Chain A
Amino acid sequence: MPDLTAKKKRPLWYNLSPLNLPVPGLVSIFHRVSGVVLFLGLIAFLYLLDLSLASESGYAQAAGVLRAPIAKLLVIASIWALLHHMCAGIRHLFLDVDVGTSLHTARRSAFAVFIASLALTASIAVRIW
C-alpha cells in the first residue's frame, strides 16, 4: 500500500504572471467589483431620487448636484458598473438554465458582456456629458 501521508516533492510555481485569467473569469470578478461599487453608490442614488421627488426646489438641487463634472464622472462610472453587472447577470441567468454553457459559447458571451456594457456606457456618457 502506498503511504499517502508521505511528503511528496510538489512543483512550486510562485510566478503567476504567465497565467492569464480567461475572459469569463474577468467578467466574473468585474461582476463582483461592480456589485460592491453599486452597493456603495446606493445611498447616494436613493438620496438623490428622494430629493428630486420631494419638491420643485429639491429637483433643481438634485439636477444641480448632477451637473458638476465630478458628479458626471461618478454617474458614468456607476452606469458602467450597473450595465456590466446587469449584462453579466443576464448571461448568468442563461447559464443557470443551461443555455450557452459550452466553452466556446461561454467565452463569446463573456466578450459580448464587456463589449455591450462598454458600448452602452459610451453612448450614454456622450449624451450626459
Chain B
Amino acid sequence: MVNRIIVGAHYGLKDWLAQRVTALLMIGYTVIFLVVWPRPMSYAGWKALFAQGWMRFATFLLVASVLIHAWIGMRNVWMDYVKHTGVRLANLEWPSQGAVSTQSWWGRAAPACAPRCSCRKRA
C-alpha cells in the first residue's frame, strides 16, 4: 500500500504563479516609481505623489504583492530548513499572521496612501 499524504491540489502551482505575478507587479511599480519620484525630494512633492488616486492604487498593489511574495518566500525557506513537525506547524503561522496584521496596520496607519482609500468613490 502506498502511504500518501494528501494535502490538496494545486497549492504548489498557485504559489508558483503568485510568486511570478507579484514579482512582475513589483518590477512594474519600481519602473514607474523611478520615473515619477520627486526630484529634488521635498515633503510637498512626496505628499503630492502619494495623494494621487492611481499612485494609491499602485502602492496598494505593491504592498499586497510584497506581503504575498514575502509570505510564500519565507514559508518556503522555513519548510526547507525546519524539519521538526511541531516547530514547523507552529511557525508556518507567523509569516501569514505577520502579513495579515501588517496589511491591516497599514490600512489604519497610513491615511495618506491607505489601501482602503484607493477603492473610495471619486468625489
Interface residue ranges of B98-123 to A (CB < 8 Å): 102, 106, 109-110, 112-113
Range for the number of chain A residues in contact with chain B: 20 to 34
Chain B interface, DSSP helix/strand/loop, else mixed:
helix
**Is the Cβ of B77 less than 8 Å from the Cβ of A32?**
yes
Given A42-B70, A86-B27, A86-B30, A35-B77 contact (CB < 8 Å): yes
- Name the contact of A59 in the complex, choosing from B27, B30, B46, B106 (C-beta under 8 A): B46
Q: For A52, A53, A90, which residue has the most chain B Cβ atoms within 10 angstroms? A: A53
What is the distance, in angstroms, from B73's C-beta to the closest C-beta of chain A?
5
Nearest neighbor of B110 in chain A, beta-carbon distance: A50
Given A54-B112, A89-B23, A46-B30 contact (CB < 8 Å): no
Q: Would you list 5 pairs from A and B whose C-beta atoms are within 8 A, ordered by A residue?
A: A50-B106, A50-B109, A52-B43, A53-B47, A86-B27
